[in-house]
C-alpha cells in the first residue's frame, strides 16, 4: 500500500481505490491503515462478492482500468516485477 500511495502522488490524474475484501470490522481495517507509512487516499470496505465478481486468485490483486472502466491489466500478488508493470501502465495512461 505505501507503494500505491507513492504512485498516487506521482500520477495525480489517476484514481487509486483500495478495496478491503476480507470480513473485518471497519475499526480493525482503519487501525491497520493508520499503522502504514502511506496508503492510497480511497479505501473501500466490502462484505463480500468482490472475489466472485472479479475472479481474483490471490491478494493483493491490482486492476488497472481506463477511463471507460475497461480492465487493462490484472496483477496478482506483490512482486517487484508487478510494481514495474504497474508503473509502466500508469506512465502510458498518463500520457496526453
Range(s) of the domain holding residue 68: 2-94
How many folded domains does the chain comprise?
1
Q: What share of the chain is helix, strand, coil (3-state, %, to 5)?
A: 40, 20, 40
Residues 24-38: b if buried by 16+ CB within 10 A, e if exposed? eeeeeeeeeeeeeee
Does 39 score more than 70 pLDDT?
no
Residue with cell 472479479: 54
Given this model, what pLDDT does residue 20 score?
62
pLDDT for residue 51 is more than 70: no
Predicted confidence (pLDDT) per residue in 59-87, tens digit? 677 777 777 878 888 888 888 998 899 89
CATH of the domain at 68: 3.40.30.10
pTM given for the model? 0.61
Instruction: Output Rg (C-alpha) for the chain, integer angstroms.
Output: 14
CA-to-CA distance for 44 and 30, rounded, in angstroms?
11
Query: Across residues 15-26, what is the average pLDDT?
Result: 68
At 91, list the grid cell. Answer: 506512465
**How far apart (Å, rounded) are the C-alpha atoms in residues 60 and 62?**
6
- What percent of the chain has pLDDT above 70? 66
Asked whether the predicted pLDDT for residue 37 surpasses 80, the reply is no
Amino acid at each position: 500500500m505505501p507503494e500505491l500511495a507513492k504512485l498516487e502522488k506521482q500520477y495525480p490524474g489517476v484514481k487509486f481505490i483500495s478495496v478491503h475484501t476480507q470480513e473485518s470490522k471497519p475499526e480493525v481495517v482503519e487501525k491497520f491503515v493508520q499503522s502504514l507509512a502511506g496508503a492510497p487516499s480511497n479505501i473501500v470496505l466490502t462484505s463480500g462478492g468482490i472475489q466472485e465478481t472479479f475472479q481474483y486468485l490471490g491478494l493483493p490483486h491490482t486492476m488497472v482500468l481506463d477511463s471507460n472502466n475497461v480492465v487493462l491489466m490484472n496483477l496478482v500478488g506483490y512482486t517487484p516485477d508487478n510494481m514495474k508493470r504497474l508503473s509502466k501502465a500508469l506512465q502510458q495512461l498518463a500520457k496526453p
